[in-house]
Each structure stands twice: as C-alpha cells, then as structure tokens.
C-alpha cells in the first residue's frame, strides 16, 4: 500500500486541475501539462486538494496508485516553478554550446556530439556548465540523463559530464616505483 497516495495533494492558487476520460490536466502560470491515467485509479478533486482512490485490488492498481500520486504532485509543482538540472562538463578540450535547437558538445571524440533539444525544455550553457530547465519533471530528468550518458565521469581524472551535486569517488591510479 502506498503512503504517498494516502495524503491529499494541495492545489496552489492560480492552478487549475481537471480529470476527464482518463486524462489528468494541470494548468498553471508557466504552462499546461497532460498525462493519461489508467482507469484502475479514481481521481477526486475537491476543496482545493487532489486525492487518489483504488478502484480495484489488483497488483497493478496498487502499484499505480502511488505512481499516479507522484506524477500529479510533480505536475502541480512544475506548472508553478520550473524544474532545473545542472550538469558540469569536465576535461581538457571538453566544451558545450547551444546552437539553434541543438546542444553541440566536444567530448574528446573525433566528431562533435550533437543532441537535439526537445521543444518543452530550455537549455543554457555557460563555460563548462549546462543548465536544463522546464515544467515537466520527467522530460527534464530524461534529457539530463541522456546528455550525461554521452560521456560519463571516470574515476581517475574525473573527466566527463556529471550532475552538479554528484560526487565522483576518485581512485588513486598507478604508483611510481
């Protein structure tokens, strides 16, 4: 049983939440988010809160109960304040730059790495820092993970792309005899 889904989610002012025909919609000052929910869970919107209730006792319904509550909470938070992920590009000759709708990076390969930026995300680069922001928590996190996967940080010199709050455990390497 989910403890997350048992708590009601407060709807902040200037935010509209609706649920009809399996589509959960949140409108706020920064934009609109929509997500399809299965019919195993009922969504109750009343008195400025959103609550979720189980309709069946299947294992899938119990699993989706907390998941849908987390999605709704993230959507409500996202239309009021943008989500942001910061990445640090570390290494000699490693660069990142935004050109049009693409993120162009030099990561020590023989060719530049070009990653198309999704339309709902804003990417800015400053020196060796890449900031990814948007109202959808999932798309921001997914794009940040995709960028990081291009050159994961290595433990000897720390070269690669890492999250700003990520700690890389360094290894000692060879000892001179």
pLDDT tens digits, 21-72: 889 999 999 999 999 988 888 899 998 899 998 887 888 888 888 899 999 9
Which CATH code for domain 9-78? 3.90.930.12
- Asked whether the predicted pLDDT for residue 1 surpasses 60, the reply is no
Residue 50 to residue 19: CA distance in whole angstroms: 10
The mean pLDDT value of the chain amounts to 91
What does the pLDDT read at residue 158? 86
51 to 16, 19, 54, 113, 114: CA distances (angstroms): 15, 12, 10, 44, 42
pTM: 0.89
Residue 52 to residue 66: CA distance in whole angstroms: 9
Select the CATH number that applies to the domain covering 83-163 from these four: 3.40.50.300, 3.90.930.12, 3.10.129.10, 3.40.1390.20: 3.90.930.12
Q: Where in the chain do CATH 3.90.930.12 domains reside?
A: 9-78, 83-163
What does the pLDDT read at residue 148? 95
User: Whose CA is closest to 135, among 146, 119, 148, 124?
Assistant: 119
Mean pLDDT of 67-80: 93
């Amino acid at each position: 049983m989910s403890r997350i889904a048992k708590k009601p989610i407060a709807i902040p002012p200037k935010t509209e939440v609706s649920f009809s025909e399996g589509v959960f919609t949140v409108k706020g000052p920064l934009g609109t988010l929509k997500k399809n929910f299965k019919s195993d869970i009922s969504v109750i919107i009343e008195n400025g809160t959103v609550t979720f209730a189980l309709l069946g006792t299947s294992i899938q319904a119990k699993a989706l109960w907390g998941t849908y509550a987390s999605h709704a909470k993230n959507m409500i938070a996202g239309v009021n304040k943008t989500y942001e992920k910061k990445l640090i590009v570390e290494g000699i000759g490693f660069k990142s730059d935004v050109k049009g709708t693409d993120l162009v990076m030099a990561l020590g390969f023989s060719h530049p790495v070009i990653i198309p930026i999704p339309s709902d995300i804003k990417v800015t680069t400053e020196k060796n820092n890449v900031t990814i922001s948007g109202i959808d928590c999932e798309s921001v996190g997914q794009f940040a993970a995709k960028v990081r996967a291009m050159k994961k940080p290595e433990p000897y010199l720390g070269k690669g792309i890492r999250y700003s709050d990520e700690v890389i455990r360094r290894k000692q390497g060879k000892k001179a005899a």
